[in-house]
C-alpha cells in the first residue's frame, strides 16, 4: 500500500507521513529542496514500523511532476499510489496593493496548480483499482479570506472548490476526495507570526500541533471514513466555524 505526501519533509507533511506509516502505508515523501529534513522524515517513517522513499520534485512544475511520477510508476509495475495527500504549500503575504506579480503567481502555482500537476497522473490508476483516497491541505484562509493573503486565500479557496468537483467526478469509483482546513499550526510556516497575540483570538487559546492535523488526515484516509467525500473539514481550535 503506497501513499504519496507532497511537502513531506517538514511540518504537517512530516506528521502525516509518520501517521500513514503507523497505518501500514509505504510512504513516498516528496519535498522540494530540503534533503536533510526529508531524510529525518524517512527515518521517522521507518521508526514507525513501515518503509518509505524520497521523491523530490517541484509540485509547481508540471513537467517535473509528470517525470517523477512516471519514473516511480515505471519502477513499481503492478503497484499504485492509493493515497495522495496534496500538502506542499507556501505563503508570500502582502497587502494586494504591494503584492508583486511573482508572489501572486508563485503561491497560485505551488498551492493550487500543484493539485492538477500531481493529482491528474495518479487518478487514473486509482480509478482502475476502484479505490483511492485524496486529501488536499487547504486553510482557514481559503474559507474565510485573510487580509494580506489574497494570493494564498485564492489558492486555498480554489483547492476547496476543486476538491468538491473531483469528489463528484470519481465517487462512483470508490475514491474519496476531501480537504482539511487548519487554522494556525506550529510549523516553520508560521514562524514570525505573533503567536501570543493571535492565540488570544483562538477559543482553545493555543496553536495546533502538526500531529493533530495528521490524525484528521489519517481518519479521512481510513476505511472508517469511506462515506465522507467532497468535504472540507476545519481544524482550528474554534477560531472560525
The Cα 107–Cα 14 span in angstroms is 21
Q: Whose Cβ is closer to ligand NAP: residue 173's or residue 211's? A: 211
Q: Whose Cβ is closer to ligand NAP: residue 97's or residue 197's? A: 197
Give the nearest distance from C-beta 114 to ligand NAP in angstroms: 7
Quick check: 86 and 135 in contact, CB under 8 A? yes
Give the nearest distance from C-beta 212 to ligand NAP in angstroms: 11
Q: Whose Cβ is closer to ligand NAP: residue 33's or residue 226's? A: 33
The Cα 110–Cα 189 span in angstroms is 14
Q: Whose Cβ is closer to ligand NAP: residue 51's or residue 188's? A: 188
Give the nearest distance from C-beta 77 to ligand NAP in angstroms: 26
Q: Which residue has the cell 506579480?
A: 101
Q: Whose Cβ is closer to ligand NAP: residue 177's or residue 185's? A: 185
Which residues of this chain interact with ligand NAP, rule CB under 6 A? 6-7, 9-13, 30-34, 37, 58-60, 87-90, 110, 137, 139, 182, 184-185, 187-190
Instruction: Give the single-character DSSP code of 207.
Output: P
The CB density around residue 154, as the number of other CB atoms within 10 Å, is 18
Give the nearest distance from C-beta 229 to ligand NAP in angstroms: 20
C-alpha cell at 156: 486555498
Give the nearest distance from C-beta 179 to ligand NAP in angstroms: 10
Tallying the residues shown for the chain, one arrives at 241
Q: Both ends of the chain: CA-CA distance in Å? A: 35
The Cα 124–Cα 126 span in angstroms is 5
Positions marked catalytic: 152
- Measured between alpha carbons, how far is residue 80 from residues 55, 128, 136, 156 in Å? 15, 10, 19, 27
Amino acid at each position: 500500500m503506497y501513499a504519496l505526501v507532497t511537502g513531506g519533509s517538514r511540518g504537517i507533511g512530516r506528521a502525516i507521513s509518520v501517521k500513514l506509516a503507523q497505518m501500514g502505508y509505504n510512504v513516498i515523501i516528496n519535498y522540494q529542496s530540503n534533503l536533510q529534513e526529508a531524510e529525518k522524515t524517512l527515518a521517522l517513517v521507518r521508526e514507525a514500523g513501515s518503509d518509505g522513499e524520497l521523491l523530490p520534485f517541484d509540485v509547481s512544475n508540471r513537467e517535473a511532476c509528470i517525470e517523477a511520477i512516471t519514473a516511480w510508476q515505471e519502477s513499481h509495475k503492478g503497484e499504485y499510489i492509493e493515497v495522495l495527500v496534496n500538502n506542499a504549500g507556501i505563503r508570500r503575504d502582502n497587502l494586494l496593493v504591494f503584492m508583486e506579480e511573482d508572489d501572486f503567481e508563485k503561491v497560485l502555482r505551488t498551492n493550487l496548480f500543484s493539485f492538477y500537476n500531481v493529482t491528474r497522473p495518479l487518478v487514473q490508476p486509482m480509478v482502475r483499482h476502484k479505490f483511492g483516497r485524496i486529501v488536499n491541505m487547504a486553510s482557514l484562509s481559503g474559507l474565510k479570506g485573510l487580509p494580506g493573503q489574497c494570493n494564498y486565500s485564492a489558492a486555498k479557496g480554489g483547492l476547496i472548490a476543486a476538491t468538491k468537483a473531483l469528489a463528484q467526478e470519481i465517487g462512483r469509483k470508490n475514491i474519496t476526495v476531501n480537504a482539511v482546513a487548519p487554522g494556525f499550526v506550529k510549523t516553520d510556516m508560521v514562524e514570525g507570526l505573533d503567536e501570543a497575540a493571535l492565540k488570544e483570538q483562538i477559543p482553545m487559546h493555543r496553536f495546533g500541533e502538526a500531529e493533530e492535523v495528521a490524525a484528521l488526515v489519517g481518519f479521512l484516509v481510513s476505511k472508517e471514513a469511506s462515506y465522507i467525500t467532497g468535504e472540507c473539514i476545519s481544524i482550528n481550535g474554534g477560531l472560525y466555524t
